[in-house]
Amino acid sequence: MSKFSLLISTALLLSTSLLPSIAIAAPKWVKVITDEDLVQNFVDKASIRTNKTSRNYTSARTVTKAVTSDEQMPLRRPYHGQRCPCPYDYAINESNCGGRSAYSRGGGASPLCYAPSKTLRLVISNLVNCKTKERRINAIQAYDSKNKPIARYTASQIVDTYPELVEVSDEAELKVINAVCSGSAASNRPAFQGSYTR
Tell me if 37 is assigned to some domain.
yes
Tell me if 148 is assigned to some domain.
yes
Tell me if 176 is assigned to some domain.
yes
CATH of residue 62: 2.40.128.710
Let me know the angle formed at the C-alpha of 69 by 114 and 82, rounded to the nearest 5 degrees.
Answer: 20
Rounded CA Rg of the chain:
16
User: Is residue 88 classed as helix, strand or coil in its secondary structure?
Assistant: coil
Residues 174-186 pLDDT 10s: 888 888 887 644 4
Percent of the chain with pLDDT over 90: 23
How many domains, the chain? Answer: 1
Residues 3-62 pLDDT 10s: 444 444 444 444 434 444 434 457 788 888 887 777 888 889 889 998 888 999 999 989
Tell me if 107 is assigned to some domain.
no
* Residue 17 host element (H or E): none
pTM of the model: 0.72
Tell me if 55 is assigned to some domain.
yes
The parent domain of residue 172 ranges over 3-77+116-181
User: Is residue 175 classed as helix, strand or coil in its secondary structure?
Assistant: helix
As a whole number of angstroms, the distance between CA 176 and CA 41 comes to: 9
Contact present, 122 and 60 (Cβ < 8 Å): yes
Percent of the chain with pLDDT over 70: 74
